[in-house]
Structure 1
Amino acid sequence: MMHKALRFPGRQRRAFSAVVDTLKHKIQGLAEKKAPQLTALRKEHGGKVLGETTVGQCIGGMRGITCMISETSLLDPMEGIRYRGRTLQDCMDQLPKAPGSKIGLPEASFWLLLTDEIPSDAEVKALNEELHKRSALPESVVKTIDSLPKDTHPMTQLSIGLLALQPTSEFGKAYRSGTLKKNEYWVYTLEDALSLVAKVPILAARIFRNVFMEGKHIPSDPSMDWAGNYAQMLGVSDDALFKDVTRMYLMLHADHEAGNVSAHTTHLVGSALSDPYYSYAAGVCGLAGPLHGLANQECLRWLKNTRQELGGKEPTVEVLTQFAKDTLASGKVIPGFGHGVLRNTDPRYVIQRQFAQDNFPNDPLVKLAEVCFQAIPPVLEATGKVKNPWPNVDALSGTCMQYFGLDQEDYYTVIFAVSRALGCTSNLVWSRMMGLPIERPKSVTLDWLSTKAAE
C-alpha cells in the first residue's frame, strides 16, 4: 500500500544529497495524492470486470489483456506513448535541454516518470551532478567486463555487467539485514534506481570501446549531461549533433508502459522483491530478443541490403513499391513497419524523421528510408492483413545513428537498454511504493482450453 508519511529509518539517516531528498519528497507527495485512488479501486471496485479473456489471447501471448499497472506511461493507439500523460512531442518541447540543443534531456524524463513533474533546469543540473557522483564502476566490475572475450555479444556483456553490480544493491543489503520494513521498500529501490541509471552508460560505453575500439577508453566528463556524456564516451563522432541524436534516442526509448518484454520482465522479477540489478538484468535479456530490442539493427540491415539490391538505381516511390511487393511475394517480411498496439505512425518515428530531415536529409540511407515511408504503407495496407502499415521507431533509429559513424549494429540494442533503464527502474520504484504483490497469473492446459471452448 502507499504510505502517508515520509519516514527515514535510522540506517537511512545518512547525509542525502539535496536532489535525492527532493526526489524522495516529490515521489512521496505524489504517492499521497494517488493513495486514495488506489485504496478506492481495491476496496470499492476490485470485482469490476475489465474485459473477457479469449482463447486467442490465452494462446497468443496474452496480447491485449488489461491486467497490469504502469503509473509512469500509457500507450495510446493513435498518439503513441505518453509519459505521465504527456505526448513525446510535449516532452520534447517541455523538458529542459542542454545548452544550444532542441532535444528534451532523457534524464529530465526520468524525473518526470518518477514525480509527474517537468523538472526545472536547476533540478536537472542537480540530478546530473548526483548521477555523476554515483557513476563509477567498482574495480571488480571493470575487471569482469574487461576479461570477457571480445566476440561475446554486447548485450550478453551488459547483462553480465549488471549482475556484477548487484552486490552494490542498497535494497539487497537492507533486505538481508532482516529489519527492512515494507514502507521502506520504495526508498531503497529508488537508491538502486539512481545508481543503476548512473552506472549503465559508463558500463555500456566500456563494452563498446572494448569490443570495437581496442579497449581504448574515453573518461567520463562530470561537467556534461547524462546522455551527452554517454555519446562522448562512445567516441564515434565529434559532431555536436551526435550528442543530440543520442539524447533524442534515449529520451524517446525511455519508457513504453509495462507490457513489452523488457519492462514486463523487469516488473515480474521485481515483484518477487529481487533488487533492481537482478530485475533489470533479466529485462535486458528479454530486450536482446529478435522480436524486441533487436529490431532496430534488423531494420538498418534491411535498408542496407535494399540499397545494395537496387544496385545504384534511384530509390523512387515506384521502384520501392515494386520492391516491397516482390519482398512480400517471396515470403519475406519488411521490418520497421507495423506495431502491436499503435494504429498510426509511431510518434517516435515522426520525431526522428524530422531530426533527420532537418540535419542530414541527403544521407543515402535517410533518403531511402524517406521513400520507404511513402511507398511501403500502401503496399502493406493492400494486403488486408496488416492492422498498422505505418513505420515504427525502429524504421529510422539505426539510420540516424549510422550517419554519425555508429554503424556497429550489434551494439544498437545496448543503447536501447541504456535508455529503457530509465522507465524500467522508475516503474520498480512505483511498484514498491504502491505495494504491488508478486505477479502470478493463472495458466491452463490445452485440454482445459478445449473444454472451455466447447461449453
Structure 2
Amino acid sequence: MLRSIRSYSTHVDLKTTLQNAIPAKRELYQYVKKNLANKEIGQLTAGGTIGGMRGYKSLLWEASVVDPNEGIRFHGYTIQECQKFLPKAKDEINDPKSEFLPESMFWFLLTGNKPSQDQINEFSNELALKAGLPDYLNKILDSLPSSLHPMTQLSIAISALNNDSKFAKAYASGIPKNDYWEYTFEDSINLIAKLPAIVGKIYSNTYHNGEKLGELNLNKDWSYNLSSLLGLTSNDSLNLNKLNQDQSKDVVNLVRLYCALHGDHEGGNVSAHTTHLVGSALSDPFLSYSAGVQGLAGPLHGLAAQEVVRFIVEMNSNLQNDISNSTKIEEYLWGLLNSKRVIPGYGHGVLRKPDPRFEAMLQFGLKRSNEFANDELFHLVKNLSEIAPGVLKKHGKTKNPYPNVDSSSGVLFYHYGIKELLFFTVIFGASRSIGPLSQLIWDRVLGLPIERPKSVDLKTLAQ
C-alpha cells in the first residue's frame, strides 16, 4: 500500500504548492542548524579523501537517496510506486503502456507532494508555452560547427540563456535573500521548458544539416515535444525515422520513462554536485546547470550508455548473432575480463544490488514483445543480464556485478532510430535538469552558504 502523500487543491499551481511547503522545511532547517550542528553523521578517512570522497555524507539533498540495496528512492518512494501515482499525459491516462511524465517527477521532487492530473496538465502547457528559443540563441547554435561535440553545444546553449536570467538581474538590483528562491524558480522553469527545443536544434544542426525535424505542440507534454523535435513522431513528412503510429507513441513513452528516471540520483553524482557547487556561489540556474552538463559529458559519468551500445553491437557481431548461446556469451565475457577490460553497463558506485532503473527500462521493451521480437541487441542485453552477474561473481573483483541503467537505455533509443551514439548523453542532459534544478531552488529557499570544504595534502595524511 502506498503511503499517504500531501495533496493540495487541483487548482493550485506549482509555485504556490512550493510556497506552501517552504515554512515547514525552513523551520526544520533552522532546528538542525541551531541544535544539531555537532551531530556526527559519518567518519572521514584518508582513503575516502583520496578516493573521491565516496560515501561521505556531506551534501544536503532533499528529493532522492540511493540505497545500496534498494536503489533510488524519490522522497522515500520506489520507481514502481512512482509509476503508480504520478500523472501521465492527459490523453493517455488509461493506457497501461503509458508512462508517467518527467514534469510529474519534477513537481514531486520539488514539493514532496503528489500532483493532480489537472495540475500536471496545466504545468505541461506552461512548459510548452515557454519552450520557444530566443533569436540570439538560435543564431549562436547555427554558428557552431557541426563537428563540435553535441554536449559542448548543449552547455553553450544553456550558458547563453544567462542573458535572460531573472535571478541575475534581480540580484544585481538588490533583492532580499528570502526572495532569491522565487527568481531561481522562474529561471529553472524557463530552462527546463526550453531544453526540448535546444536538444532538437542541436540534433538537427549536428546530424541533419539544420533541417526542421518536428514542431512544438502547445497541447502536448514536455517529452512529446522533445520526441517531435528529434523527428521521432509520426507527423507526416516530419517523421524522420518513418515510425508508424504505434512506434511513435512508444518512443514518446520511452522518452518519458527515461527522462523521469534519469532526472535525479541523489546529490553526489558529478552533474548534480557540480550544479549545486556552482549554484552555491549564487550563479544563476543557467550557469549552474551548464557546469553540471559539462560534468555529465565526462566518460565516467554520462557517456556510459553509448559505450554499452558499442559493446553490444560488437559482441553481437562476434557471437555471429547466436545471442542465446550462454556458453559463447560466458566465453566472450571471460575473454574481456582476462584481457583487463571491463563489461560496460555493469557495476555502480553505490548500488550493491540490481539497478531498479535497469529493470524499468527492460520492462519497457518486454511489454512491447512484438515490437522487439526481432531486435537481437535488445535480447542480447536481456540474456547478458542473466549471465554476466555470475561471471563477475566468479571473477571476484567487482563490488556490484549487476547491470545498471546504462545497460538497457541506449539500446532502446537505438531501436527507434537514434543511432548517433554521442547524442544519448544530450538526452540525458535534458533529463538530469529535473533533479539538480529542483534542489537548487531549495538551496536558495534555505539560504545555504557557498560550498567550501577544507583541503589536505598527502604529507598531512601520511603523518
Do Structure 1 and Structure 2 share a fold, with TM-score over 0.5? Answer: yes
The equivalences for 1:270-349 within 5 A come to: 270-349=279-358
Matches within 5 A, 1:46-61: 46-61=37-52
Question: How far apart in 2 are the matches of 1:85 and 1:31?
Answer: 19
1:19–1:145 distance in 2 versus 1, CA, 3 Å: farther
SS in 2 for 1:75: strand
More divergent stretch after superposition (243-252 vs 307-316): 307-316
Partners of 2:404 and 2:68 lie apart in 1 by 12
Tell me the secondary structure at the aligned position of residue 367 of structure 2: helix
Q: Distance in 1 between matches of 2:304 and 2:50?
A: 23
Give the C-alpha shift of residue 315 in structure 1: 3.8
CA distance in 2, matches of 1:113, 1:268: 19
> Could you tell me whether the CA contact under 8 Å between 1:318 and 1:375 is conserved in 2?
no
Deviations 1:28-66 (A, max 9, x none): 221212233222211111101112111110000010001
The question of 1:405 aligning with 2:417 is answered yes
Partner residue in 1 for 2:72: 81
Q: Which of 22, 26, 36 in structure 2 is aligned with 1:45? A: 36
Deviates more, 1:27-36 or 1:113-122: 27-36
Counterparts of 1:342-361 in structure 2 under 5 Å?
342-359=351-368, 360-361=372-373
Cα drift, residue 90 of structure 1: 1.1
User: Aligned partners of 1:315 and 1:202: how far apart in 2?
Assistant: 41
CA shift, 1:311, in A, is 2.6
**Structure-1 separation of matches of 2:323 and 2:359:** 24
Shift of residue 321, structure 1, vs aligned partner: 1.1
Is 1:379 equivalent to 2:374 in the alignment?
A: no
How far does residue 361 in structure 1 lie from its aligned partner after superposition? Answer: 4.3
Deviations 1:327-376 (A, max 9, x none): 10011111101101011110100011111112124411011101111111
Q: In the alignment, what sits opposite 2:237?
A: none
Tell me if structure 1 keeps the 8 A contact 2:413–2:419. Answer: yes
Alpha-carbon contact 2:323-2:376 (below 8 Å) kept: no
Cα contact 2:319–2:329 (8 A) shared by 1? no
Question: Residues 324 and 376 of structure 1 are in contact (CA less than 8 Å); yes or no, is this contact kept in structure 2?
Answer: yes
Q: Give the corresponding residue for 2:257.
A: 248
CA 1:43 to 1:361, structure 2 compared with 1: closer, same or farther past 3 Å? farther
Partners of 2:389 and 2:183 lie apart in 1 by 47
Give the match for residue 235 of structure 2.
none
For the 8 Å contact 1:204–1:414, the answer to whether it is kept is yes
How many residue pairs get aligned? The number is 433
Q: Please tell me whether residue 173 in structure 1 is matched to residue 169 in structure 2.
A: yes
Distance in 2 between residues matched to 1:443 and 1:411, nearest whole Å = 36
Give structure 1 regions of 4+ aligned residues with deviation exceeding 4 angstroms.
18-21
Counterpart of 1:29 in structure 2 is: 20
Query: After superposition, what is the alpha-carbon deviation per residue over 1:103-152, rounded to whole angstroms, capped at 9, x for unaligned?
Result: 11111101101111121111011101111221111100000001111111
Equivalent pairs: percent with the same residue? Answer: 44
* Residue 84 (structure 2) aligned to one of 72, 85, 93: 93
The answer for the alignment partner of 1:229 in structure 2 is: 225
Match of 1:6 in 2: none
Question: Which ranges of structure 2 fall in alignment gaps of 5 or more residues?
Answer: 1-8, 233-240
Contact 1:19 1:130 in 2 (8 A): no
Residue 442 (structure 1) aligned with residue 454 (structure 2)? yes
Hey, what does 1:12 align to over in structure 2?
A: none
**How far apart in 2 are the matches of 1:245 and 1:314?**
24
Q: Which runs of 5+ in 1 are unaligned?
A: 1-17
